[in-house]
Amino acid sequence: MFVRCALRTRSQCLLTGLLALLLSSGLWMSGNAAVLEEPPSLLQAAGADSTLRLVVKASPSAHYQTEATFTDKAVLRALEDRKPGAAYSEPLLPDTVLTYRQKGQEQRVYVTPTGQVVDPIGHQYHVLEDEAQSTLKTHVQSLRQQHYGELLHWNDANRIIPKFSSFTIVDVESGLSFEGQRRAGSSHADVQPLTKEDSATLKSIYGGNWSWNRRAVLVKYEGRTLAASMHGMPHGGDGIPGNDFNGHFCIHFLGSVTHRSRSMDPAHQVMVHRAAGLLNEYVSKLPPLALIDVWISAAHQGDLQLLQVATGEEQALHVRSMRRLSKAKEPDVSGLLQYDTDVDVSTTPEGASAVKHRRIHFHLERASLEDRWYIRSAVMR
């Protein structure tokens, strides 16, 4: 099994190397005999018809991905013989895509961490033989473990990444990476880019502007990869001269809190779980007001995937900014299937510059007392 994190596929590398070998030798090997004849297509030579390719990434739009290829005729036969099963009801498709060729045509399905195959067109599971599903489960879990970060509580991350340690930060959406150094921070990590080149990379991750927006990142240090969340706004004290970064930015981990409020930042915690590959699992367990915080973060950052996981539907919301103003304690909804509430926000509509105070009426529902909540409507007043 060959694995790597890159934008270039392994098949490109394999075919390039194979072509170079053929051109240098002038021969095409057939069995044990060398014959001077035109070779078959490079795709056939690379065994494309018997190769399965897995690609995992945090969102459909992410450029950062990890891929693996393997050959397993039993899995291929099981895929060809698969039968339609139950409906797939999750708001997001699985993060792992499996492609293979069947009768000369490329097939594309999604695979869950448990090895279940999902048809993206019919939005339903396809049933495989137990052994084939077990094989896919092994490959997918191994690949996801390499792609995502370790979900580590701040108390442990604080010890593992000491002050003045330097590490690599990878943005899981763009795939861009840079070096940073932890300078301070007792409730989360206060970090600075090491060099002006690192600062330029951080700025490019945010489209060329400094920003408070939260982004899922991987922190790579001494052989470990931790799930984290960062913003990209210089603030506070400066400690590395000549790095073109006037201050520090913050990196949060599971359970870390802000300096001022001494409470967990909902948007950071969502991004930490995205970096761990657990976005859907995390959001599915949130109570109503915490789910509304996810929706507000999604609206503020224009994050379509977050909107979808909060509402269960593909939708877009166009605002320049949105912040929650009203705070309230989570209500007791243990016996409810529907819940309505009003939330005060500050918002800047798309195409405007003035900040307005508005009230949004949220209506949430769930199918049963054991099921997760969804935001079914959000009406701005």
> Each residue of 314-352: pLDDT tens digit?
888 888 899 999 889 999 999 999 999 999 999 998 888
Q: Which of 275, 301, 318 is the last residue of a domain?
A: 275
Residue 280 lies in a domain: no
Residue 216 lies in a domain: yes
At 6 the pLDDT is: 45
DSSP-assigned states of every residue in 296-333: HHHHHHT-HHHHHHHHSS-----EEEEEE----PPP--
3-state secondary structure of 16: helix
Q: With contact defined as beta carbons under 8 Å apart, do 90 and 279 qualify?
A: no
- Structural domains counted in the chain: 3
Same domain membership, residue 325 and residue 252: no
* Torsion, CA 176, CA 319, CA 271, CA 92, rounded to 10: -100
Q: Any idea what the CATH number is for the domain that residue 159 is in?
A: 2.30.110
Out of 259-263, 291-295, 302-306, 361-365, pick the least confident: 259-263
Give the Cα separation of 61 and 164 in Å (integer).
34
Same domain membership, residue 125 and residue 10: yes
Residue 328 lies in a domain: yes
Q: Which amino acid, 76?
A: L
- Tokens representing 150 are 């370790």
3-state secondary structure of 225: strand
Same domain membership, residue 162 and residue 96: no
Same domain membership, residue 71 and residue 206: no
Same domain membership, residue 101 and residue 58: yes
Q: Any idea what the CATH number is for the domain that residue 317 is in?
A: 3.10.450
Residue 25 lies in a domain: yes
Residue 286 lies in a domain: no
Domain containing 165 equals: 154-275
| CB count in 10 Å sphere of residue 138 | 12
Helix crossing, 288-301 with 304-311: angle to 10°? 160
- Across 172-306, the runs of DSSP E, i.e. the strands, are 177-184, 189-193, 211-221, 224-232, 249-252
Same domain membership, residue 197 and residue 135: no
* CA 175 from centre of chain: 11
The pLDDT tens digits of the residues spanning 64-79 come to 999 999 999 999 999 9
Which of 157-166, 236-245, 260-269 tops mean pLDDT? 157-166
Residue 285 lies in a domain: no
DSSP-assigned states of every residue in 37-66: S----HHHHTTGGGEEEEEE-SSTT-S--E
At 262 the pLDDT is: 76
Q: Any idea what the CATH number is for the domain that residue 54 is in?
A: 3.30.1490
* Torsion, CA 53, CA 58, CA 59, CA 60, rounded to 10: -10
What pLDDT band is residue 260 in, cutting at 50, 70 and 90?
A: confident
Same domain membership, residue 187 and residue 61: no
The pLDDT tens digits of the residues spanning 88-116 come to 999 999 999 999 999 889 999 999 999 99
Q: With contact defined as beta carbons under 8 Å apart, do 92 and 309 qualify?
A: yes
From the list 78, 129, 130, the residue with the least C-alpha distance to 107 is 78
pTM: 0.86
- Tokens representing 281 are 């699992």
From the list 186, 269, 261, 201, the residue with the least C-alpha distance to 232 is 201
Residue 66 lies in a domain: yes
Same domain membership, residue 158 and residue 139: no
Give the Cα separation of 233 and 210 in Å (integer).
5
Which of 27-31, 227-231, 319-323 tops mean pLDDT? 227-231
At residue 376, φ and ψ (nearest 5 deg) are: -90, -25
At 351 the pLDDT is: 81
Q: Which of 120, 147, 174 is the last residue of a domain?
A: 147
What pLDDT band is residue 12 in, cutting at 50, 70 and 90?
A: very low
Residue 281 lies in a domain: no
DSSP-assigned states of every residue in 120-180: TTTTEEEE--HHHHHHHHHHHHHHHHHHSPB--BHHHHHHHS-TT-EEEEEETTT--EEEE
- Is the four-CA dihedral 55, 58, 60, 64 of positive or negative sign? negative
| CB count in 10 Å sphere of residue 363 | 14
At 254 the pLDDT is: 98
At 350 the pLDDT is: 84
Q: Which amino acid, 344?
A: D
Q: What is the mean pLDDT of residues 134-162?
A: 97
For residue 272, give Cα distances in angstroms to 154, 258, 330: 11, 14, 22
Same domain membership, residue 139 and residue 8: yes
Same domain membership, residue 301 and residue 230: no
Same domain membership, residue 215 and residue 143: no
Same domain membership, residue 373 and residue 296: yes
Give the Cα separation of 110 and 116 in Å (integer).
8
| CB count in 10 Å sphere of residue 246 | 13
Sheet architecture: strand order including 83-87: 2-5, 66-71, 51-56, 96-102, 105-111, 117-119, 124-127, 83-87
Q: Which of 243, 275, 307 is the last residue of a domain?
A: 275
